[in-house]
Amino acid sequence: MTAGAAGLREMRWWDIAPVLELEHDLFPEDAWSPGMFWSELAHARGPFATRRYLVAEQDGRIVGYGGLAAIDGTGDIQTIAIARDQWGTGLGGRLLAELLGAATDFECREVLLEVRVDNARAQRLYERFGFEPIGFRRGYYQPGNVDALVMRLTTQTSSEAPSVQGT
């Protein structure tokens, strides 16, 4: 029997535990705490929601997650991660496309993100979607004092175009 393709859906509080397992595997030095995920999800529902958090689920297992914050027309990719055994299958791209769709829904004019300067794989993914480097944040990642590359995707609001460019 072949495994089914991963499906994307809204992240809920009961996903926090399996998401944290991935988080600690993929970001061992600066993993988010449970409280950070709880706080993000607290802003993800209702008429004044400013967050969109998604998980990728395959055969009952959480294999990826990502989140976008949208404040005053600016989106921010807060986090995106895929289980190692799923890298290179296109799942990161699907998740990012969905988050950019959320940015369109929030009528964001631009989407920003920070990525470690040594994370070439993630940078390639973002470039593929049209993100461009705009600067550095020195020593952004602690411990380790690693710089962040800040990248930006300029988008169009829904009144100007039907969807975010770059997909």
The rounded radius of gyration (Å) of the Cα atoms in the chain is 15
Nearest distance from C-beta of residue 73 to ligand COA, angstroms: 22
Identified catalytic residue from 29, 126, 141, 160: 126
Minimum Å gap between C-beta 109 and ligand COA is 21
In the complex, what is the shortest distance from the CB of residue 122 to ligand COA, in angstroms, rounded to a whole number? 4
Single out the catalytic residue among 114, 132, 141, 160: 114
C-alpha 114: how far from chain center: 11
65 is catalytic: no
β-strand 110-116 against 74-82: which pairing, if any? parallel
Residues that bind ligand COA (CB under 6 A): 26, 80-82, 86-93, 115, 119, 121-122, 124-125
Residue number with the smallest Cβ distance to ligand COA: 92
Hey, CA dihedral for 149, 120, 64, 23, is it positive or negative? negative
Question: Quick one: 70 or 151, whose CB is closer to ligand COA?
Answer: 151
101, 85, 120, 94 alpha-carbon torsion, rounded to 10°: -10
The sign of the dihedral angle between the CA atoms of 93, 90, 134, 137 is positive
Of 91 and 99, which has the nearer Cβ to ligand COA? 91
Among this protein's residues, is 40 annotated catalytic?
no
- From the CB of 79, what's the least distance to ligand COA, in Å? 7
In degrees, rounded to 5, the angle at the alpha carbon of residue 35 between the alpha carbons of residues 53 and 13 is: 45
Catalytic residues: 114, 126
